[in-house]
Amino acid sequence: MKLEIHNLSVAYGETPVLKSLDVSAVSGEVLGIIGPNGCGKSTFVKTLAGIIEPAAGTIRMDGTDLLTLPKNEMAKRVGYVPQDFRQLASITVLDTVTIGRRPHVTWTLTKKDFSIVRSAMQSLAILPLAQKRLDQLSGGERQKVFIARALAQEPLVYLFDEPTSALDIRHQIAVFRLIRSLAHENGAAVLVVVHDLNFAQYYADRIVLMKKGQVVGAGTPEEVMTRDAIRAVYGVGMRSVTTDAGTYVLPEWEAALEESAGEA
Amino acid sequence: MEDSLEMLYTREWRHRWLVILGLVLVLVLAVFVSLNMGSIHLAVSDVISALFSGEGISAQTKMVVLDLRAPRIILAILAGASLAVAGTVMQALMRNPLVSPFTLGMSSAASFGAACAIVMGSLPLLALSFVQFQDAFIVLFAFIFGIGSVFLIYAISLRRGSTSATLILGGVVLGYIFQAGLMVLQYTSNNEKLREITLWLMGGMWGANWSAIWIITPIVIVSILYLLWKAWDFNALLAGDEVAQNAGVEIKKIRIRGLFFCTLASSACLAFTGIIGFIGLIGPHIGRLLIGQDNRYLIPCSALLGAVILLVSDTIGRTIIEPVEIPVGVIMYLLGGIFFMYLLMRKENQIFT
C-alpha cells in the first residue's frame, strides 16, 4: 500500500499553516515527522486523520483519494492517536477501546470485534485496567488506552502525534517498539510526530523534516538529520556522537543557542 | 486473563439487560398502581376490566380510568422518557454532565412558546383558525422556542474560552428570561388563561388528553429511535472530538441533528406539561450508575428511569394530600435541586474545569 500526499495545504482562517506539502509513505515503514514547535506537524497528521479539512490537495491511498471517501470509510483506513486528552468524559477503558470498532460495526459487537479489542488491549498491557475510568488513570496509562483504541480500529495507516509525551523512558521505548512492530510485522504504514531526535533517528525508517508549514527534507535519518539541516531548522547546533550502543544526536548546549541567535 | 475480557463483557451485557428488563417491570407496576390511585379508589379488577373488556363496571369508573388517568399516565411516561433521553444525549454531545433541557433553559423556552400559542388562541381574530389545530400549534410554538434557545446556547458554547460553567450559567439565565416572559403573559392575559399559565410555571400533567397524546407519541418515538440509532456516535464523542472524528463521526452534523431531536421530543411534551426541571439530570445520572456510559444501553435505561420517576412523582403528587394536587414540577424541583447539589459535591467527577 502506498500513501501519497500531494500539494496538501491547510489554513486557519487567513493564516496558511501547511503550504503545498508533498509526502509519501508506504506500508511496512515508520515515517518520523520532525520539526520545531509550530511548524505544522500536528496539523499535518490531523489533516490525514480527517479532523482538519484541507484547503487544497489530495491524499491518495493506492490511487483512491481519501478526502472524497465517506468519513466512515476513511476511518477504516486511518487510525489516529491524539496528543492531548483534555476533552474527556469519565468512560471506562474498555468502552474507550471499543470506540475503535465503531466504523466496522452496525450495532452489536461480534466475537471477532471482541478478539480485536482484546488483542489491542493486550499489546499495550492494559487488560487489567478494563473497568477503570479514564479519569482514574495516569497520563501514561491514558496514552496507552488511546493507542489501543487506534489499534482496535484496524487501520492501514497509523498516525501518532507525539505518542510518548506523557511517558517515562521505559514506556517510551515500549511504545516505540510497538510502533515499529506495527509497521515491520503487521505491515501498516506509520506516521509518527516525534520531538526527541534520538527516538526519530533510532526508530524511524524515513524522516520528514518540516519548517514553517513546508517540507524541507525527506529521506533516511542519516540523509535528513545532518548538522546543517538541524541548525537551519531548529536554530540549535547538534553533534552526532557514535558510541558502541548506537549513534546519538546531542545539543551543543548554550553555545549552540548563542550561535544561532547571532544568525537570526 | 485470556477470556476474562469477554466474560467481563458478557457479564456486563447480562447485567445491562437485567436492569432494563427490571425497569420495564417497575414501569408496568407503576402504571397499574397509578391507575388505581386517586380521589376515586378503584379495585384492581375494575381497572383491568376498564382497560380490556369494559364490562361489569360503571360508566364513571370507565371514564376515570380511560379518559382521566390513562392519558395523564401516558403523558408522564412520554415526558419523563423524552426529557431523560434528551439529558443523556445532550450530556454526551456537549461532554458536560450538568447539561439537560432544564439547565440549558430549553424547558422554559418551550413552555413560553406553548403559552404564547395558548394566549394567541384566545385572541378573537386568531381563534377561528387556531381552534381546530390548537394542540399542533402549541407543539409547534414550543418547538420553535425550544430549538432557538438550544442553538443560542450551543453557539455560546462554541465561543473561545467558554467553559462548562459558562454553558450552565447561560442556560440558567436564559431560563429566567423565558420565565419572565411567562410572567408577563400571565400578567397581561385575561383571567381564563391566567390559571393555565400559572400551572405552566409549576409544571404538571393537567394538560393530558387523548388528542395531545396522539400528537406527541409519534414525535417522541421517532426522536428516541433516531437518538438510539446514533448511540455509537455519542459513545465516540465521549472520548473527545478528535478521536470521534477519526472514528468516522461527523461531529458537526451529529451535534446539530442530536440537539434537534432532543429538543423536538422534549418540547413536544413540555408543550403540555409546562416547565419540568431536573428529570433530564436525574434520569441519566442514575442510569450511568446502574448501567455505565454505553449509550446503546444508557438511552433506553434513562428513558425508563425518567418515565418511572416522573410517573411515580406525579402519582404521589396527586394523592398524597388529597384532594389537593401537588404539581409534579414542584416535586421535581425539590428532588432535582437536592440531586444537583449532590452532583456538584461529588468528588470523583470534576464537573467544572
C-alpha cell at B221: 418515538
B298 pLDDT more than 80: yes
Average pLDDT over residues B262-275: 92
A166 pLDDT more than 90: no
Per DSSP (E only), the strands in chain A are 2-12, 15-26, 30-34, 56-61, 64-65, 78-81, 157-161, 189-193, 206-211, 214-219, 238-243, 246-251
The answer to whether B241 faces chain A, any CB pair under 8 Å, is yes
- Identity (one letter) of the amino acid at B125? L
The answer to whether B245 faces chain A, any CB pair under 8 Å, is yes
Banded pLDDT at A173 (limits 50, 70, 90): very high
Banded pLDDT at A254 (limits 50, 70, 90): low
- Shortest Cα–Cα distance, A128 to chain B (Å): 9
* Share of residues in chain B with pLDDT > 70 (%): 92
Average pLDDT over residues A228-251: 85
Chain B's closest residue to A153, CA to CA, is B247
User: Phi, psi at residue A80, to the nearest 5°?
Assistant: -130, 135
- Give the pLDDT score at B128: 52
- Give the pLDDT score at B164: 73
- Give the pLDDT score at A263: 46
Average pLDDT over residues B279-287: 94
Least confident stretch, A125-134, A212-221, B13-22, B49-58: B49-58
Banded pLDDT at A262 (limits 50, 70, 90): very low
User: Phi, psi at residue B243, to the nearest 5°?
Assistant: -65, -45
Give me the interface pTM, i.e. the ipTM: 0.90
A264 pLDDT more than 60: no
Least confident stretch, A81-90, A177-186, B34-43: A81-90
- Identity (one letter) of the amino acid at A196? D
Least confident stretch, A24-28, A150-154, A255-259: A255-259
- Give the pLDDT score at B351: 44
Is B159 exposed, middle or buried, given 0-12, 13-18 or 19+ CB atoms closer than 10 A?
exposed
Best B91, B227, B242 residue to mutate vs chain A (most A CBs within 10 Å): B242
The pairing of strands A206-211 and A30-34 is parallel
- Give the pLDDT score at A257: 60
| Beta carbons of A91 and B238 less than 8 Å apart | yes
* pLDDT tens profile A20-45: 999 999 999 999 999 999 899 999 99
Pinpoint the alpha helices (H) of chain B.
4-36, 44-51, 59-63, 70-94, 106-121, 124-158, 164-188, 191-202, 210-229, 231-238, 241-246, 251-273, 279-291, 295-319, 328-345
CB contacts < 8 A (A, B)? 113
The pLDDT mean for chain A works out to 89
Smallest Cβ distance to A72: which of B97, B243, B248? B248
- Shortest Cα–Cα distance, A244 to chain B (Å): 40
B126 pLDDT more than 60: no
- Give the pLDDT score at A188: 95
* pLDDT tens profile B72-119: 999 999 999 999 999 999 999 988 888 999 999 999 999 899 888 888
- Give the pLDDT score at A23: 95
* pLDDT tens profile A98-121: 999 999 998 888 889 989 999 999
- B282, B285, B287, B289: CA torsion to nearest 10: -130
- Give the pLDDT score at B1: 46
From chain A residues 25-54, the ones with a CB under 8 A of any chain B CB are 46, 49-51
| Beta carbons of B248 and A89 less than 8 Å apart | no
From chain A residues 145-174, the ones with a CB under 8 A of any chain B CB are 146, 149-150, 153
What is residue B311's three-state secondary structure?
helix
Q: Please name the residues in contact with B187: beta carbons below 8 A apart, sequence gap of 6 or more.
A: none
| Beta carbons of A90 and B293 less than 8 Å apart | yes
